[in-house]
Amino acid sequence: MKLEVENASTELKAKERLPNYWDLGDKAAATHFTRDFLKFLLPGLEPREVTLLDKENVKETFRSWVESDHVVKIVLGNGSSIGVLQEFQHSHDPNIWERMWEYAVLLKRKHGLTILPILVDYNKERTEGKPVTWQTYPMMQLGLPETTVAIATFTCLVFKVNRLKDAELLSSNQPGIWPLLPFTRTQMTPGEMVTAIARRLVALKVEQEYIDKILTMLGYYLEGMYSPQELEEFNETLRRWKEMSLQLKYIGRPWREEGKLESTREAIIEVLEERFGVVDDSIKQKLAMIENLEKLKVLLRKSVKVTDVAELTRLI
């Protein structure tokens, strides 16, 4: 019995040390894809500039207990500026409106900006309705319990992700919201999700750096929903997708007749740098000595698949 208690305690401590993958996904969404969220939620809005605001500075200035997920300042096309307060909710919080209202007030006092509050709600629900709605809540009321009058209200843009079908989400031309796919009404497996998103990314000709961020964000959300065994298909599909994207980027490159040898050498080095970081000069020197184009092409294809730089070095 004592051993079982100790094992349970060890497992609990291990779980406490694990990162909150959904928080990591939300942080990625807030850091990289604010423009995509705004364009999806408010079609026609074209932010000219997006600047991250220091949310902790606001909290400390007014000695407030409230926490906020993401705060940015956006400059619109006409030159005017507004603040966007974005909150991500994965579980029911009865105090969410009070927290967002208080933080919006603090932001207004700190930065003098008109505040646009947005709640991204991931909670599953059975009710039907529009996924994006404006909702108003009473914040301060006067009177007796049965005859109250609201003298202050809080209006928030609410995005209920679970009201979307997977096809509706993927039909959007804002790739930054596609990693929310696991929270929609979908029957897809993790592997099918990464395949669906990868195909849309290829169709839109999205840059590689952006692709990596989107798939990383999707991975964070899936890590918080599935066991390692259930994610094996996802990880294998993701590995094959990254391999394919490197092939599209480098191996499918249209070489000029002149300089084919040098272009192929450069492509090999670029693939290795993208996968493993800095490439040692000795490898570059060995590649420079190869004058056989077919051998360089074989090394280029191998560079996409090898597990480390040393493996490719042995093939040179």
Q: What is the mean pLDDT of residues 49-59?
A: 74
Q: In this predicted model, what pLDDT tens digit does every residue of 151-184 receive, in sequence order?
A: 778 899 999 999 999 999 999 989 999 999 999 9
Please check the confidence at residue 1 and state whether its pLDDT lies above 80: no
Please tell me the predicted confidence (pLDDT) of residue 40.
Answer: 93
Please tell me the predicted confidence (pLDDT) of residue 164.
Answer: 92
Q: In this predicted model, what pLDDT tens digit does every residue of 235-258 receive, in sequence order?
A: 887 777 766 666 555 555 544 444
Q: What is the mean pLDDT of residues 297-310?
A: 84
Name the average pLDDT for the chain.
Answer: 80
Please tell me the predicted confidence (pLDDT) of residue 60.
Answer: 64
Please tell me the predicted confidence (pLDDT) of residue 54.
Answer: 73
Q: What is the mean pLDDT of residues 5-12?
A: 43
Q: In this predicted model, what pLDDT tens digit does every residue of 101-118 receive, in sequence order?
A: 888 888 888 888 899 999
Please check the confidence at residue 45 and state whether its pLDDT lies above 60: yes
pLDDT band at 6 (very low <50, low <70, confident <90, very high): very low
Please check the confidence at residue 13 and state whether its pLDDT lies above 80: no
Q: In this predicted model, what pLDDT tens digit does every residue of 266-300 receive, in sequence order?
A: 888 888 887 888 888 888 888 888 888 888 888 88
Give the alpha-carbon dihedral of 16, 66, 62, 60, to 10 degrees. Answer: 20
pTM: 0.70
Please tell me the predicted confidence (pLDDT) of residue 257.
Answer: 43
Compare 69 and 250 and report the one with higher pLDDT: 69
* Among 59-63, 184-188, 210-214, 227-231, the least confident range: 59-63
Q: What percent of the chain has pLDDT over 90?
A: 19
Q: What percent of the chain has pLDDT over 70?
A: 81
Please tell me the predicted confidence (pLDDT) of residue 16.
Answer: 44
Please check the confidence at residue 96 and state whether its pLDDT lies above 60: yes
pLDDT band at 18 (very low <50, low <70, confident <90, very high): very low
Q: In this predicted model, what pLDDT tens digit does every residue of 117-154 receive, in sequence order?
A: 999 999 887 778 899 999 998 877 777 677 766 677 88
Please tell me the predicted confidence (pLDDT) of residue 314.
Answer: 87
Please tell me the predicted confidence (pLDDT) of residue 107.
Answer: 84
